[in-house]
Amino acid sequence: MTDHETLLEIAGLHAYYGKSHVLHGVDLNVKKGEIVCLLGRNGVGRSTTAKAVMGQVVARGHVRYKGRDILGKKAYEVARLGIGLVPENRDIFPDLTVKQNMQLGIKDPRHVGRWTLDDMYALFPRLKERENTPGGVLSGGEQQMLTLCRTLMGDPDLIMIDEPTEGLAPKIVELVGQFLEEVKNRGISILLIEQKLAIALDISDRVYVMGHGHIVYEGTPAELKRNSAIRKEWLEV
């Protein structure tokens, strides 16, 4: 795969919750080694897009990963292909320690991935300090770090991260931004679902804006900064 080859390609994606039609023909792609941000207000379908890729909602259209159509596969099958999802609700195991939570992320103990526990502790020294602490007593920021690290322990080539900075203090938001850039530097692609424009414009290579279940804008962070009409209509509260 060349450096600029498309890793994830979503085309004409429709998704449903029961009779509710949530996505109306979404088109987007993520290339190898890119951070792509999917922006938009709450309820427009950004999380549903990630869930459709993971096979967690009823969907039709095309989702291709490394050139192969994966729509309709089960979540564990998609994960084994090399896609990780960091959900908005963080989903850690509250009774397991930090270390045990991270070890759960390893998909195949026989396979030596790009990331070790020591890597995670180097990125987030706070997790090292709390290695034997149950996940349930961590702060929101620490739980977010733990979820990110656990996903990386599965050695994905692409991670989709849903609202990682939601409810976090500015200092922790900055830490998450640095962490995502480090992940990118290791050749891992990121689809970042965010509401905070600042972090999106800071670390993304490209941005998509979603409104009413479809993509209403695609461009670079610099282009979006200059486009006040799009920001006003689709992003600003």
Average pLDDT of span 118-145? 90
Strands (E), 4-142: 6-17, 20-31, 35-39, 58-65, 68-69, 83-86
Q: How far apart are CA 211 and CA 34, in angstroms?
A: 23
Q: Report the b/e string of 93-111 with b at 16+ CB within 10 A.
A: eeeeebbebbeebbbeeee
Output the CA torsion 112→160→84→178 (10° steps): 30
**Confidence (pLDDT) at 4:** 60
CA distances from residue 67 to 6, 7, 12, 226, 228 in whole angstroms, order as listed? 8, 7, 16, 34, 35
The number of beta carbons lying within 10 Å of the beta carbon of residue 75 is 14
| pLDDT tens, position by position, 143-191 | 988 999 999 998 899 999 999 888 888 888 888 898 899 899 989 999 9
Q: How far apart are CA 64 and CA 186, in angstroms?
A: 22
Residue 132 has pLDDT above 70, yes or no: yes
Helix, strand, or coil (residue 189): strand
pLDDT band of 123, cuts 50, 70, 90: confident
| pLDDT tens, position by position, 58-96 | 999 999 999 999 999 999 999 999 999 998 877 889 999
Average pLDDT of span 113-134? 89
**Confidence (pLDDT) at 2:** 43
Mean per-residue pLDDT of the chain:
91
**Confidence (pLDDT) at 236:** 85
CB contact at 8 A, 105 and 89: no
The domains located in the chain, with CATH, are 6-234 (3.40.50.300)
**Confidence (pLDDT) at 78:** 95
Average pLDDT of span 129-146? 91
CA 3 to chain centre: 20
Residue 14 has pLDDT above 50, yes or no: yes
CA distances from residue 136 to 86, 104, 132 in whole angstroms, order as listed? 17, 16, 12
pLDDT band of 127, cuts 50, 70, 90: very high
CB contact at 8 A, 159 and 84: yes
Q: How far apart are CA 237 and CA 228, in angstroms?
A: 13
Residue 196 has pLDDT above 70, yes or no: yes
Q: Report the b/e string of 125-142 with b at 16+ CB within 10 A.
A: ebbeebeeebbeebeebb
Give the DSSP letter of residue 107.
S
Residue 36 has pLDDT above 50, yes or no: yes
CA distances from residue 66 to 5, 56, 70, 170 in whole angstroms, order as listed? 9, 20, 10, 35
